[in-house]
């Protein structure tokens, strides 16, 4: 026998004894999962049965017509049950087969399947920041209850009991993601104490969203075991503390080839032309984070530069020197939907050609 968990998040996607994972629920960020037993191992999501859940309990359907249908989309090894057990990322549809409004994967898959996008093989590396909170007081771990630690400075990539808080959780998550088959490429402690980051990538196309959502689910399960609250709030603590983002590194085949730097600059110009549209889709509460302080550009300003962490778009020194490579979009908030972000960047840079003249600011 084999089991699978379905994971679903509140904007319309699931996993798997089979555990089914789905981004269901009205918030767009919370994850849900349910499990069922299969008669044997399955490695192809198209061989898995569709399933359903009560959408009236997640804010996605009325009680009079409550069934939401789960479509299995991607399979990962289950790091909790192990063996032949799997996690299955799903998205959600009405019984008539239409994607529910919060299903962002369906629209992203259409963009990534467009011939122009397929030809460019878009690569992504997403830096997911998050904050670990004490369960009963919703205050960062390692912080005195009702008080504050010393100012920022010694915590980023820090070592020691007075600097690194939650490393056991972070290490467990790293190993669990590797076991699951997620392309997790690293972890580090962040500038604010109690805040960490993991990186997923490089991944191609729709898999970037699948893998980041599953990595979030695995982290949520581990913090559940540890009795710690996981927060993706982009500015969990007001004041002189860094916020939490999801910097998205991006390249296309044209950018990675000789002469790619010119394609990078053209792509950045297109992103600048649609800055307002992107900001609107880049996460809730991002205005509290993108203030022009704490390694961010102001939310109403679009600037790019080489090695500039106060820019909207940062190009690395190595990319500038090589004349090809990738760039980093530093605007997405930590609670962004990776299906929305990755597909929007691809659509803007590959398929969007009506670029208006902009007065760009450049800060090398």
Q: Is 171 helix (H, G, I), strand (E, B) or coil?
A: helix
Residue 364 placed within a domain: no
pTM here is: 0.92
Last residue of a domain, one of 74, 100, 126: 100
Judgement on whether residues 183 and 258 belong to the same structural domain of the protein: yes
Tell whether 2 is covered by a domain: no
Q: What three-state secondary structure class fits 350?
A: helix
**CA distance to 47, 74, 83, 364, per residue, from 40 (Å):** 11, 17, 12, 57
Total domains in the chain come to 2
Q: Where among 100, 132, 165 does a domain terminate? A: 100
Q: Are 360 and 267 in contact (CB under 8 A)?
A: no
Residue 13: what pLDDT? 47
Residue 11 lies in a domain: no
Q: Do 162 and 274 fall within a single domain? A: yes
CATH of the domain at 49: 3.10.20.70
Same domain flag for 63 and 88: yes
Give a yes or no: residue 106 inside a domain.
no
| Structural domain of 293 | 113-352
Shared domain check, 251 and 281: yes
As to burial, measured by CB atoms within 10 angstroms (0-12 exposed, 13-18 middle, 19+ buried), residue 73 is buried
pLDDT at 171: 98
- Give residue 51's Cα distance to chain centre: 25
**Domain-embedded: residue 363:** no
Whether 7 is in a domain gets the answer no
Do 58 and 150 belong to one domain?
no
Question: In this structure, are 210 and 174 located in the same domain?
Answer: yes
Residue 139 and residue 269 in one domain: yes
Same domain as 150, residue 54: no
Q: Are residues 184 and 331 in the same domain?
A: yes
Q: Are residues 72 and 195 in the same domain?
A: no
- Please list the pLDDT of the chain residue by residue as tens digits (364 residues): 455 555 554 444 444 456 666 655 555 677 889 998 888 889 999 999 999 998 888 878 777 778 999 999 999 999 999 999 999 999 999 999 999 998 999 999 999 999 999 999 999 999 999 999 999 999 999 999 989 999 999 999 999 999 999 999 999 999 999 999 999 999 999 999 999 999 999 999 999 999 999 999 999 999 999 999 999 999 999 999 999 999 999 999 999 999 999 999 999 999 999 999 999 999 999 999 999 999 999 999 999 999 999 999 999 999 999 999 999 999 999 999 999 999 999 999 999 754 343 444 444 4
Do residues 198 and 218 lie in contact, with contact meaning Cβ atoms separated by under 8 Å? no
**pLDDT score recorded for residue 183:** 98
- Does residue 4 belong to any structural domain of this protein? no
Residues 117, 90: one domain?
no
Residues 191, 330 within the same domain? yes
CATH of the domain at 292: 3.30.590.10
Q: Determine whether 310 is exposed, middle or buried from the number of CB atoms within 10 Å of its CB (0-12, 13-18, 19+).
A: middle
Residue 338 lies in a domain: yes
> Which of 100, 123, 142 finishes a domain?
100
Query: CA–CA separation, 29 vs 359, rounded Å?
Result: 35
Peptide bond into 202 cis (omega under 30): yes
Helix axes 167-180, 207-226, angle to 10 degrees: 140
């Amino acid at each position: 026998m084999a089991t699978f968990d379905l994971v679903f998040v509140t904007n319309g996607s699931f996993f798997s004894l089979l555990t089914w994972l789905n981004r269901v629920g009205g918030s767009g960020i919370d994850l849900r999962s349910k499990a069922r037993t299969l008669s044997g191992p399955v490695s192809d999501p198209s061989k898995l049965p569709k399933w359903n859940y009560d959408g009236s309990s997640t804010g996605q359907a009325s009680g009079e017509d409550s069934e939401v249908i789960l479509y299995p989309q991607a399979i990962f090894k289950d790091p909790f049950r192990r063996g032949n057990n799997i996690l299955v990322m799903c998205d959600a549809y009405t019984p008539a087969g239409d994607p529910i409004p919060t299903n962002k994967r369906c629209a992203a898959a259409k963009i990534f399947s467009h011939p122009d996008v397929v030809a460019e093989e878009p690569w992504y590396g997403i830096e997911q920041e998050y904050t670990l909170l004490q369960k009963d007081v919703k205050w960062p771990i390692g912080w005195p209850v009702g008080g504050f630690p010393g100012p920022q400075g010694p915590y980023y990539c820090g070592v020691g009991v007075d600097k690194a808080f939650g490393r056991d959780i972070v290490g467990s998550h790293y190993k669990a993601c590797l076991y699951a088959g997620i392309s997790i490429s690293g972890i580090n402690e962040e500038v604010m104490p109690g805040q960490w980051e993991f990186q997923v990538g490089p991944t191609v196309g729709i898999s970037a969203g699948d893998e980041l959502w599953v990595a979030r689910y695995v982290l949520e399960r581990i913090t559940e075991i540890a009795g710690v609250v996981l927060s993706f709030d982009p500015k969990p603590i007001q004041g002189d503390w860094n916020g939490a983002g999801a910097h998205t590194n991006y390249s296309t085949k044209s950018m990675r080839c000789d002469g790619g730097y010119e394609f990078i600059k053209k792509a950045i110009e297109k992103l600048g032309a649609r800055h307002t549209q992107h900001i609107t889709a880049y996460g809730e509460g991002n205005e509290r984070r993108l203030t022009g302080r704490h390694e961010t550009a102001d939310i109403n300003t679009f600037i790019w530069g080489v090695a500039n962490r106060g820019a909207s778009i940062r190009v690395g020194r190595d990319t500038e020197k090589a004349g090809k490579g990738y760039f980093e979009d530093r605007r997405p908030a930590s609670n962004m939907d990776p299906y929305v972000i990755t597909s929007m960047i691809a659509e803007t840079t590959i398929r969007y050609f009506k670029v208006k003249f902009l007065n760009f600011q450049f800060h090398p």
